[in-house]
Amino acid sequence: MGVVLVALTGVVVAALPVINGWQAQRTWEQGVDRLSRQAAVHADGQARMQVTDYQRGLYRSSVQSRLALPAAALPPALRGALGVTAGGPIELVLEHTVQHGWRGVAFEGHVRPVGALARPFERLGGDDGSLQVNGRLGLSDQSLEFRSEALSGPLDRQGNLRLTLAPLALDSHYDLTRGQWEGSLEWSGFTLAQAASDAMLRLGGLRFEADLRLVAGQPSRGIWVGDTALHLEDMALRPMAQPAMTVARVDLETSSQLAADDLMAGGIRFDWQGLVMPRSPEMQGTMALDFQRLDPAALLTLSRQTATDPSQPMAESEWRRPLAVLAAEGPRLELSNLRMETADRDGLEGQAELLIRPAMAERLVNGADGMGLWQALRLDAAFAVDAVLIDALPGEARMWAEQAKAFGILRRTATHWRMEMSVDEGALRIHGEQPWWSGGS
């Protein structure tokens, strides 16, 4: 009996690489087919991705896949600048080897442009080792690593445009048993400069981190909760003979979780510093937006319907029902903090809160719109603008401000102009009073 068990164990262990190899091929081909369908939707059916070669061995396989984007993805003017004369599609080839053993599947390989972009890629110093893709498909988890080397050189044949790309590192890990995804991106950015002028575009250090859990749908199209953080060191755009636009720092953080009632709650935090735009003073600012009682299943339904064909507007029947499900839970959105200011601390600040009453759900299903929906929500908002900014507004903006003053929407205090507005059961109030121009006393 023991000999039989040992023999059976040996057969199972020996068969696992074969089974894993077959499963890896099936998973890869299904994934490529899914990506191809999604790409076609976003490119009017002209984009495609396909497996062009799959040589599967006992423990090792060689795979080649190809992504083709339509010729329109590279406009004629850009083709001319890059020295691309052919009018064919934009193509990328992914080549990798797969190791399939009894503990899972590991793959390593590279991406390289072919066809129209092959020559510009070579001018940057790119080769088969420049864009590396590695990963692992385990029984309970999946991981992916992407690494790019530093690339620099003339982007066009004449050498008028020079592109410098810093190394990039992307890591992704998905736990199948817990539905948990962790990802990170580290990139020192890029610079695109024009030799004949001082025109340039620069993106400084970029860092992204995510720790998310799937709560509805599938990983490729689902609803996640958790934490994300995006940090941008700096960005600058200097057009030819034009003032530059720069930002010194950007931070974007999101946090969400499921409450005890399985509804989502969370918030978004957005901060920026050193924002300089033409004919405007340097600005910095912060914004905080919080939400409560969002139904993940209803959000998933909305996302699926909007992703079916983004170029086509949704039919009324498609968006009313999932919105009704969202409204039935009484969701609340709050702009808890908004502040934009100059270096002299002159600026704008405000808060707002929107409460959707459950009564809106029935009204959505029954086809109500306009005032019928307004009567099922409550909105409170208050904003203040420092007087020195109002007084310095240019032409048309100043005209709108003067009209707001005339209608009593903006009221002057000692140091700023203030607006307070509320809507409750369809009744509008400005500074606590129903405005005369809407029928109030």
pLDDT tens per residue across all 441 residues of the chain? 444 344 444 444 444 566 667 777 777 777 777 777 777 766 666 778 888 888 887 778 898 988 888 877 777 766 666 666 666 678 889 998 988 766 667 889 999 998 878 888 999 999 999 999 999 877 788 899 999 999 999 988 888 889 999 999 999 999 989 999 999 999 999 999 988 888 899 999 999 999 999 999 988 789 999 999 999 999 999 887 678 899 999 999 999 999 989 999 999 999 999 999 887 788 899 999 999 999 999 999 888 766 555 556 667 777 888 899 999 999 999 999 999 998 888 889 999 999 999 999 999 999 888 888 889 999 999 999 988 877 777 778 788 888 888 888 899 988 889 999 999 988 899 999 888 766 555
How many Cα atoms are found within 13 Å in the side-chain-facing hemisphere of 25? 17
pLDDT score of 440: 52
pLDDT score of 48: 85
Phi-psi region of 367 (alpha: psi -120 to 50; beta: other; left: phi over 0): left
pTM for the whole structure: 0.84
- Token pair for 363: 């009204």
- Token pair for 174: 């998905």
Residue whose tokens read 């000692």: 414
Euclidean distance between CA atoms 69 and 51, whole angstroms:
15
3-state SS, residue 42: helix
CB 272 within 8 A of CB 250: yes
**C-alpha 280 chain-centroid distance:** 28
Euclidean distance between CA atoms 37 and 44, whole angstroms:
11
H-type alpha helices, 167-232: none
pLDDT score of 101: 65
pLDDT score of 81: 65
- The CA distances from residue 162 to 113, 156, 190, 198, 199, in Å, are 19, 8, 11, 12, 11
Nearest to 342 by CA among 389, 306, 390: 389
Euclidean distance between CA atoms 334 and 392, whole angstroms:
30
CB 161 within 8 A of CB 139: no
- The CA distances from residue 80 to 63, 120, 158, 246, 257, in Å, are 33, 12, 11, 29, 49
Kindly tell me the burial class for residue 116, based on how many C-beta atoms sit within 10 Å of its own C-beta (0-12, 13-18, 19 or more). buried
3-state SS, residue 300: helix
pLDDT score of 311: 57
